[in-house]
Amino acid sequence: MSKMMYRAAVLSTIMEEMERDPNVVVLGEDVVGGMGTAGGPEAIGGIWSTSTGLYDKFGPTRVIDTPISESAIVGAAGGLALAGKRPIAELMFADFIGVSLDQIWNQLAKFRYMFGGKTKCPAVIRMAYGAGYNAAAQHSQSVHQILTGMPGLKVVMPTTPADVKGLLRTAIRDDDPVIFLEHKALYAVQGEVPDDPDFMIPFGHARLSRAGGDVTIISSGLLLGMCEAVADKLAAEGIGCDVIDLRTTSPLDEETILDSVEVTGRVVVVDEAPPRCGLGADLCALVAEKAFSSLKAPPLQVTPPHTPIPFARELESNYLPSVDKIEAAVRRVLSYR
Amino acid sequence: MPDIRPFCMPKWGIEMTEGTLAEWMVAEGETFSKGQLLCLIETAKITNEVEAEYDAVLARVLVPAGGAEQPVGALLAVTAAPGTDAAEIDAFIAAFKPADTSVAARGGSSDAAPAPAAAAAAPVTNAPRKIETNRPISPEALKFAEDNGVDIDPIVGSGRGGRITLQDVHQAARYPANPALTGTLSVEAEDRAVFASPLARRIAAQHGISLSGVKGTGPRGRISKADVLALVPAPASAAPAAFGAPFVAVANTPTVTRFDSVRKVVAQRLTEAKQTIPHFYLRMSANVDKLMELRKTANLVLGCKASLNDYVVMASARALAQHRDVNVQVHGQEIHSFPHADISIAVASPKGLVTPVVRQADRMRIDQIASATSALIEKAKSGRLGMDDMAGGSFSISNLGMFGIEDFDAIINPPQGAILAVGTITREAVEDGEGFAFESRMRFTLSVDHRAIDGAGGAQFLATLKSLLENPETLFA
C-alpha cells in the first residue's frame, strides 16, 4: 500500500496501463498542457494534473492534444476504439458532455449492439464533475443522472484513491464504453492505494464503508464523506447506518442495496444531481418496488433543489447537500411513525 | 365562546371504533391542569389513562362513568375556562357536531393502541376545529387536521414549495416514533481475492466461513448472501431432532448437471417420439412356468447361460418373423417391413440408456442369442459400444423385471414401429378345476406406432408371442 492523492491515482493508473498496453492512448483538451509555454509541452499536463508526464513518456502519437471540440474528442475516441485502440478521452468539465452527446449516446453506447456484437468499443471517457468551487451553473454539474439512464454505457463514480485505481484499471481493460466521473473536490484527497499492478475492482460491486442496522445511506463521490461523518456522529447515539458507496451507477449493485434495506427498513439516498428522474429517484423507486415489505419509512432523497447551480458562494453551499441535511434526513426516517 | 372545548372519545388505533368511559378522575366543576389524569377509557383491547392537555375546568360531564359504549368522536364532556357561564356551555353542546369518524377511520392512525406509558407523551387528537390558514396544504390534509384537531403550525410541509401533505398531518397526529435501534455493525474488509457482496462477507465472518474457492451465483459471479447461507452448517443436522423440537429447514441446493452427449440424444429422440408418434398400448401376460423349467435344462444341455430375457428376445424375434407388419420401421410416408428381426435391447449403461442391436435374432439359437446379448451388455457397461452395435433395429425390448416393476409403458424408439416393455414375474392364483393353482406370469406392454401398425396386427403378434412363451419347446423346433 502507498499513500497518494485521488488525482495521482488517476495519473498513475493511466501511466501503468499505457506502459502495459501500447493500444492505450490519451486524448483531450490540454492533456499535454504546456504547448507553447515557456516550460515546454509537458510542463503542465492538463488543468487537473491528471496527465502530467504522459507526453514526455509516450510522445505525440499516444498523448494527443485536441482542438476545443468535445464532439471531436469523443468521436475520435469512438473511432480509435473501433480500430482496436483503447482510448482514454478526457473532457475538462463534465458539463460539456452536451455537445458530444450524439457521439456518446447514439454512437459509442450502441456500436456493440447495432453491429450484432461483431465489434467492441473499449473507450474510457473521463470527466471532472461536481460543485463547490463557485464555478457556476455550466461548470459544476453532476451528469451521471443523464448517462446512467443510457443503456450501453457503464458509469463509474469513484470516491477514494484506491477505488480510482481499481475502477479506472477495470474501465481501461473493459471492452465497453465507460464514463469515468472524477469529482473535482476529491482530486486532492489522500488515501491508501494497493501497489498490485493488476489491482482491479469489478463493476457493479458496491462498497460498504460503514455498517449499521438502522438506516441505509446510499451515495457515491464527494457526498459519501458527508454520509460517513453523519454515520459516525449518530453511532455515538446508538444509531447504526449502513453507508453504501455505489462505485458504479451502471451497472448498479442492487443486491447490496436490497440486502441492506431488508435489515434497516429505512433509506436515505444522497446525490449531487437534482431530484427529478435522477439517481436518488431511481434508488427510491428500486427499494419501493423490491423491498416494500421491509420499509419502515418512506425512502428519502437528499439532493439539491430542481434549479441550476448558483454562483454565489452562500447560495451554492445552501444548494448542495450537507452533513446537516443528511443528518436531518436520517433522523426524519427514524422518526417516521 | 371563550375557551369552551369539547372532550371526545379518542381514537386509538385503526381498529378502535368505540370505547367506554371507565372512570372520571376529575369531578364535574373541578379545575384540572395540563398533565393531570382526566379519566380512564376502556377499549376492546386496553384500558388507557387520558391526561389533560391544557388547564381548564371540567365544566360539564355528559357521559357518566360506567355508562354505555360511546363511538369514537362522541362528546364525553365539555371543558371551559373558570367562571364560564352555564348558558354558554349549553349553547356549545347544542351546536356541537361530532367529527366525521369515517375520515378518521380511513386516514387515521395505523399504530397499534399505545401502551399507557406512551400515552403520557401522546398528542392524542383533539376535538375538531376549523383551521384558518394561508399555508399551502392539501384539501385532504386540511380536512384530516380539522376533523382531528391537529395543530398544523409546527408541521414542516414535505410537498412542493413546503405544501403540507396528508402524510405530514398523519405524522403530526401520531405518537412520537420510538424505533428499536440496532446500532453499528462491523465492516468486513474487502478481500481482493474473493468477490463477495458486503452482506455475504459479514455472514461469512460471523460464521467463520472461508469464502475462497466458493462459487458465486450473484451478478457477475459474485458470492451472494444465499451462497454463504448454503455453507452455514445447519444446527439441526448435528443431532437428531428431539421430540417436540420445531422443524428447521436446511439448505436444499440442487446439484446442476448438464446433459452429456448420451443424454442429449436420448432426450431429443424420445421427446420427438413421444410428441410425434401416436402411441397405443396393448397389454398381455403369459404363463412362464414351463419356460422357467425348460431354461434350466436347456442351459445345462447347451452349456450356456441364457436368461429369461434372452428367451423373450428369441420368442419376440420368431413372432416378428411371422408378423412382418409389426417388424417395421417408419420413414416419413413409408413403412419399411423387414423379413428378419433386428432387436434393440435397452441397456442401462453408466452413461445412460443405450440400445444395442441383436441382429437377425429370429435365425439364432438360444445359445447364440445369449452370447450376443451378453457381449452387447458387456460392451455397453464398459462404454465400448460402436455405431455398428447401435444402428438400425426393427423392434425394441425393454425389461425392468429385475427391479420388480410389474408392468410399464415404453416410448417407441424411432424409426421402429413398436417396443415391448417386459415386467417382472409374479406368482398369481388362477382357477384350476374346483379350486385354484398358482402359476408364474410375466407381463408385457406393447407400445405401437398407430401410423404403421393397427390394433389387430399388434394383438396378433402378442398372441403369437404368448403362445411361443407358454409352449417354449416350439422355440427349439
With respect to residue A198, please indicate whether it lies within any of the assigned structural domains. no
> Does residue B245 have a pLDDT over 70?
yes
Question: What number is the average pLDDT over the span B144-153?
Answer: 88
Do the Cβ atoms of B35 and B100 come closer than 8 Å?
A: no
Q: Flag whether A36 is in a domain.
A: yes
Note the pLDDT of residue B101: 43
Convert the pLDDT of each residue in B304-339 to its tens digit: 888 999 999 999 999 999 999 999 999 988 999 999
pTM score, whole prediction: 0.57
Grid cell in block for residue B458: 399388434
Establish whether B170 is a catalytic residue.
Answer: no
Q: What is the pLDDT of residues A51-78, one digit of tens each?
A: 988 998 999 999 999 999 999 999 999 9
pLDDT of B389 over the 60 cut: yes
Cell numbers for B221, please give them.
459471479
ipTM, interface predicted TM-score of the complex: 0.81
pLDDT for residue B100: 46
Give the pLDDT of residue B132: 85
pLDDT digits (tens, 9 = 90+) for B259-291: 877 788 788 888 989 999 999 999 999 999 999
Q: Which of A176, A262, A166 is nearest to A205 (CA)?
A: A166
Note whether B159 contacts A: Cβ–Cβ < 8 A.
no
Residue located via cell numbers 398528542: B123
Among A81-95, B40-54, B181-195, B215-229, top mean pLDDT goes to: A81-95
Does residue A144 fall inside a structural domain? yes
Residue at which a domain ends, from A164, A193, A222: A193
Pairing of β A215-219 and β A267-270: parallel
Q: Using the predicted structure, report yes or no on whether residue B1 has a pLDDT greater than 50.
A: no
Do A160 and A303 have their domain in common? no
pLDDT tens across B205-236, in order? Answer: 888 888 888 888 988 889 999 999 988 877 65
User: Are residues A41 and A180 both part of a single domain?
Assistant: yes
Q: What is the pLDDT of residue B109?
A: 37
CATH number at residue A143: 3.40.50.970
3-state secondary structure of B146: helix
pLDDT at B125: 56
- Residues of chain A contacting residue B167, judged by C-beta atoms under 8 Å apart: 298
The answer as to whether A199 is a domain residue is no
The grid coordinates of residue A334 equal 427514524
Task: Name the domain boundary from A166, A193, A220.
Answer: A193
Q: Is the pLDDT of residue A250 over 50?
A: yes
Residues A169 and A42 in one domain: yes
User: Is residue A10 in some structural domain?
Assistant: yes
Judge whether residue A268 has pLDDT over 80: yes
* Confidence category of residue B194, pLDDT binned at 50, 70, 90: confident
Q: What percentage of residues in chain A have a pLDDT greater than 90?
A: 90
Chain B CB contacts of A255 under 8 Å are 197, 218-219, 222, 224-225
Task: Kindly report whether the peptide bond that precedes residue B219 is cis, defined as omega within 30 degrees of 0.
Answer: no
Strands (E), A122-163: 124-129, 154-156
Find the mean pLDDT for residues B423-439. 89
- Grid cell 460402436 in the structure block, residue: B386
Least confident piece of the model among A148-162, B94-108, B123-137, B380-394: B94-108
Question: Is the pLDDT confidence value at B303 over 90?
Answer: no
Mean pLDDT of A24-28: 96
- Cα–Cα distance, B24 to B27 (Å, whole number): 7
Is there a domain that residue A166 lies in?
yes
Q: Give yes or no: residues A112 and A30 share one domain.
A: yes
C-alpha B422/C-alpha A297 separation (Å) is: 67
Task: Tell me which residue of B472, B423, B468, B470 sits closest to B321, measured CA to CA.
Answer: B468
pLDDT at position B67 is 77
| Residues of A engaging B, defined by a Cβ cutoff of 8 Å | 194, 196, 199, 202-214, 231, 235, 238-242, 244, 251, 253-256, 259-260, 263-264, 296, 298, 334-337
User: Among the three residues A140, A170, A193, which one is the final residue of a domain in this structure?
Assistant: A193
Res B178 pLDDT > 80: no
pLDDT band at B444 (very low <50, low <70, confident <90, very high): very high
Q: Tell me which residue of B138, B101, B124 sits closest to B173, measured CA to CA.
A: B124
Three cell numbers written together for B463 = 398372441
Mean pLDDT is highest, among A105-119, B99-113, B116-130, for A105-119
For the ranges A12-21, B198-207, B415-424, which has the lowest average pLDDT? Answer: B198-207
Q: Do A160 and A58 lie in a common domain?
A: yes
Digit-coded pLDDT (tens) for B356-365? 999 999 999 9
Q: Are B75 and B8 in contact (CB under 8 A)?
A: yes
One-letter amino acid of B385? L
- Both A114 and A243 in one domain: the answer is no
- CB A88, CB A124: distance < 8 Å: yes
Same domain for A76 and A223? Answer: no
Mean pLDDT of chain A: 94
Return the amino acid letter for B202: R
- pLDDT reading at A36 higher than 70: yes
Question: Residue B107: its pLDDT value, please?
Answer: 34
Residue B116 scores a pLDDT above 80:
no
**Pairwise pLDDT comparison (B47 vs A233), residue with the higher score:** A233
Give A213→chain B minimum CA distance, Å: 5
Q: What does the pLDDT read at residue A144?
A: 95
Q: In total, how many domains does chain A have?
A: 2
DSSP reduced 3-state for A178:
strand
| Host H or E run for residue A257 | helix A254-264
**pLDDT of A111 strictly over 80:** yes
A145 within some domain: yes
Mutation choice for A interface testing from B165, B167, B185 by most A CBs within 10 A: B185
pLDDT computed for residue B236 by the predictor: 54
Domain with A141, as residue range(s), is 2-193
The residue-averaged pLDDT of B144-169 equals 88
**pLDDT value at position A186?**
96
What value does the mean pLDDT of chain B take? Answer: 84
Size of interface A-B (CB pairs under 8 A): 93
Contacts of A294 in chain B (CB under 8 A): none
Same domain, A151 and A33: yes
How many whole angstroms separate alpha carbon A201 and alpha carbon A204? 9
Q: What is the mean pLDDT of residues B429-445?
A: 89
Structural contact between residues A234 and A190, judged by C-beta atoms closer than 8 angstroms: no
Contacts of range A227-235, beta carbons closer than 8 Å, 24 or more positions apart? A227/A270, A227/A326, A229/A323, A230/A323, A230/A326, A230/A327, A230/A330, A231/B184, A233/A323, A233/A327, A234/A327, A234/A330, A235/A210, A235/B183, A235/B184
Q: How far is B113 from B191, CA to CA, in rounded Å? A: 48
Q: Tell me: do A123 and A219 sit in the same domain.
A: no
pLDDT at B300: 87
Can you tell me whether residue B188 is helix, strand or coil? coil
Whether residue A42 is found in the same domain as residue A151 = yes
Q: What is the pLDDT of residues A180-229, one digit of tens each?
A: 999 999 999 999 999 999 999 999 999 999 999 999 999 999 999 999 99
Model confidence band, residue A84 (pLDDT cutoffs 50, 70, 90):
very high
Identify the sign of the CA torsion A232, A234, A236, A239: negative
Whether A152 and A8 map to the same domain: the answer is yes
Whether the per-residue pLDDT at B416 is higher than 50: the answer is yes
| Cβ pair A102, A71 in contact under 8 A | yes
Considering all CA atoms of chain B, what is the largest pairwise distance in Å, rounded to the nearest integer? 131
Domains (range + CATH), chain B: 5-128 (2.40.50.100), 188-236+250-256 (4.10.320.10), 261-476 (3.30.559.10)
Tell which of A259, A266, A284, A307 to mutate to test the B interface (max B CBs under 10 Å). A259
- Residue A8 sits in the same domain as residue A155: yes
Domain assignment of residue A234, yes or no: yes
Mean pLDDT check: name the lowest of B32-41, B126-135, B371-380, B418-427: B126-135
pLDDT range class, residue A116, cuts 50, 70, 90: very high
Question: What SS3 class is residue A281?
Answer: helix
Q: What is the CATH number of the domain that holds A219?
A: 3.40.50.920
pLDDT at residue number B11: 78
Confidence grade of residue B179 (pLDDT, cut at 50, 70, 90): confident
Has residue A109 got a pLDDT over 70?
yes
* Contact at CB, B197 and A239, closer than 8 angstroms: no
- The reported pLDDT for the residue numbered B238 is 52
Is A199 in Cβ contact with B202 (below 8 Å)? no
Restricting to B residues 217-276, those with a Cβ less than 8 Å away from any Cβ of A are: 218-220, 222, 224-225
